[in-house]
Structure 1
Amino acid sequence: MNPLLFRIPPLPHYIASGFNRYPPGYHHPNRQHIKVFDLLVVLQGCLYIGEEERRFMVNAGDALILRPDCHHFGTEGCREDTAYYWLHFQTAHEWPPLPGSGLDSGSSTEPVGGLPASFFNMSAFNLALPQFVTLLQPAKAEELLAQLGQLQATAHLEAVRFRQQVLFQEVLQLLAASVKPGQRGSQSTVCAEQAASYLRAHYREEITTAKLGDSLNFHPVYIARCMNKEYGCSPMEYLLRYRIEQSKLLLMQTGFPIARIAEEVGFNQAPYFSSSFMKLEGLSPREYRQRFT
């Protein structure tokens, strides 16, 4: 089953939550187009729920997210006493299921304070949540949901509403962390992510494709194929872009000369750094720095 894909920022936001306990025979309500995501976390018993053509048996320790645009209904009554938390949330972005062909990793280009988002590396990212999962830490999820319930009486206070959102983000982290490692991505995705992590950790050093391959125990050609599929660029292109992003931070935050900044981010020659910066950013390092003075 494909997970639900959320584009961030902004983060999905908490709306309301509660706790239900029902005797045997209870049927989940028959509803359509409820306009919000409905997260169900079962503590005791089992819920028997349908969503369009899909069927779920949500046992104790399981979590299920029902979509805003679907028909939900009970497929049969509970067979025993059943207790569960429910939580409504929504997002400002579109949220289609994760397509089998991979994620759209395009960056946001909305202006921030008169400057393009690329000036601050403010690219959006994806949060994939399992629609149905057995929680790795059900007790922790129960604790967080109980805290949300306790805050309901004071939810008219600004500070409390902020606390609700913080607790909700912790719930999302638990859901995301409950996905089994084998379900997180293909071997090519894992290879690309490992390569990116290595390049980001060692960007100040001299790196070659051969050195990268030896470090990861993958053939350089395979690494390049994986990174092109996942990030749309070769390892060396990824490294160059990351070095330029790090140089932008130094240009804003320090008074270092351009030559020192080039050295700090892994360039052997300042002229090559300046020409690479101009090619990627459309202006020189000095002109970029002047934007903030």
Structure 2
Amino acid sequence: MSLIPSYIHLAAPPFPYFLEGDRTVYQPGDQHPSRSRMGKFDLLIVEQGCLFIGEEHKQWAVPAGHTLLLLPDRYHYSVKPCEETTSFIWIHFHTVGEWIEAEGDPVYADREEHFKQFLTHPYTIRIPQFGPLPDPFERSGQAELLLQLGRGRRSSAVWQQQRIFEEMLRMMDLAQQDAAGSHAVEIAEQTEAYLRNHYAEPLTNSLLADELHFHYNYLARCMKRVYGLTPMEYLTDYRLEQAKLLLLRTEMSIARVAERTGFESTAYFSRRFALKIGISPLRFRKRYSR
């Protein structure tokens, strides 16, 4: 049994996508087959009995009401046969975005590399590799509905299956945020929303504290915990992301882009842009222009 909680962090968008799913029933003496490097995630939802499964050096006894997420680049094997009738739903999915396994606190996607590839700000979906089903997930019946759709016409089911699958991931992700400290998440999201809505304005630590009614150090701790960045680090990154969009989508001058995104001067904007992106704003624009 693995004692240290492990979490799988998936950068999105693009969101992971559903491939296939079904239900399997093992009788006493049956065991899960050994597989290596399947190239897709395998989410197991145990409904009855207990599965005994290993992945590389980890081993789990997965009882009813629990989930286990097997990773696409690992060796999976049966630890021992089932001791009782065991029923579980398996769901295969894949992601083209970055993912990482880590213990404890959240790990964040490489924001710059993610933007280069997808031209968007990443969100990290956090899913426990092993743990109990969140109450909303268990009550929702989403997994069963996902399987029922798989028995119908593919053309009518594919969109609904992806929507239901994303809702399942959402419930699992939000359950981990609540477990990690819902108040910190709430404060961090309020801070993020304020920064996004006012990024073009002059913002300071004291102004942020006054507007959000919390000491700046507390805001910084919440942001660091949830997003891996202080408010001012987040603000600078967000301003740069907005500047990239303006450089790509408009013919605004570099000076105008700097002004529109809240930088105090063109020189400071160009310096921070080159430091973060590796090239000047002008070269960035030329690189993606026809």
Partner residue of 1:149 out of 141, 148, 151: 151
- 1:10-36 Cα offsets, whole Å, 9 max, x none, are 7655454324568xxx33831353345
The answer to whether the 8 A contact 2:220-2:230 is kept is yes
**One-letter identity of the residue aligned with 1:175:** L
Partner residue of 1:99 out of 95, 100, 103: 103
Equivalent residues, number: 269
Paired with 1:176 and 1:119, the residues of 2 have a C-alpha distance of 23
Paired with 2:103 and 2:52, the residues of 1 have a C-alpha distance of 22
The answer to whether the 8 A contact 1:28-1:49 is kept is no
Partner of 1:86: 90
Corresponding residue SS for 2:150: helix
**One-letter identity of the residue aligned with 2:127:** L
Corresponding residue SS for 2:283: helix
Corresponding residue SS for 1:31: coil
**Cα displacement (A) at 1:246:** 0.5
User: Kindly tell me: are residues 212 and 4 of structure 1, through their superposed partners in 2, closer, same or farther at Cα, counting changes over 3 Å?
Assistant: same
The answer to whether the 8 A contact 1:32-1:72 is kept is no
Paired with 1:211 and 1:234, the residues of 2 have a C-alpha distance of 15
- 1:106-158 Cα offsets, whole Å, 9 max, x none, are 34749xxxxxx64864676543223341415533332222112325xx6xxxx
**One-letter identity of the residue aligned with 2:62:** F
- 1:134-193 Cα offsets, whole Å, 9 max, x none, are 415533332222112325xx6xxxx78xx7487246414313414525225576566445
Corresponding residue SS for 1:150: coil
Paired with 2:44 and 2:203, the residues of 1 have a C-alpha distance of 48
Structure 2: any 5+ residue segments left out of the alignment?
Answer: none
Paired with 1:146 and 1:19, the residues of 2 have a C-alpha distance of 11
**Cα displacement (A) at 1:3:** 3.3
Partner residue of 1:220 out of 203, 216, 220: 216
Partner of 1:71: 78
TM-score, normalised via structure 2 length:
0.69
Partner residue of 1:140 out of 139, 142, 149: 142
**Cα displacement (A) at 1:50:** 2.6
**Cα displacement (A) at 1:263:** 2.7
User: Kindly tell me: are residues 2 and 69 of structure 1, through their superposed partners in 2, closer, same or farther at Cα, counting changes over 3 Å?
Assistant: same
The answer to whether the 8 A contact 1:128-1:176 is kept is no
**Cα displacement (A) at 1:200:** 1.9
Paired with 2:187 and 2:15, the residues of 1 have a C-alpha distance of 28
**Cα displacement (A) at 1:243:** 0.9
Paired with 1:41 and 1:230, the residues of 2 have a C-alpha distance of 27
TM-score, normalised via structure 1 length:
0.69
**One-letter identity of the residue aligned with 1:250:** L
Partner residue of 1:129 out of 123, 127, 130: 127
Partner of 1:30: 31
The answer to whether the 8 A contact 1:15-1:88 is kept is yes
**Cα displacement (A) at 1:209:** 0.7
Paired with 1:70 and 1:95, the residues of 2 have a C-alpha distance of 22
Identity of aligned residues (%): 30
The answer to whether the 8 A contact 1:105-1:231 is kept is no
- 1:38-65 Cα offsets, whole Å, 9 max, x none, are 43446xx623223355333324xx6554
**One-letter identity of the residue aligned with 2:78:** H
Structure 1: any 5+ residue segments left out of the alignment?
Answer: 111-116
User: Kindly tell me: are residues 28 and 214 of structure 1, through their superposed partners in 2, closer, same or farther at Cα, counting changes over 3 Å?
Assistant: farther
Partner residue of 1:246 out of 242, 260, 273: 242
Partner of 2:193: 197
- 1:80-110 Cα offsets, whole Å, 9 max, x none, are xx86543334567896643125415434749
User: Kindly tell me: are residues 91 and 246 of structure 1, through their superposed partners in 2, closer, same or farther at Cα, counting changes over 3 Å?
Assistant: closer
Paired with 1:262 and 1:269, the residues of 2 have a C-alpha distance of 7
Paired with 2:64 and 2:208, the residues of 1 have a C-alpha distance of 45
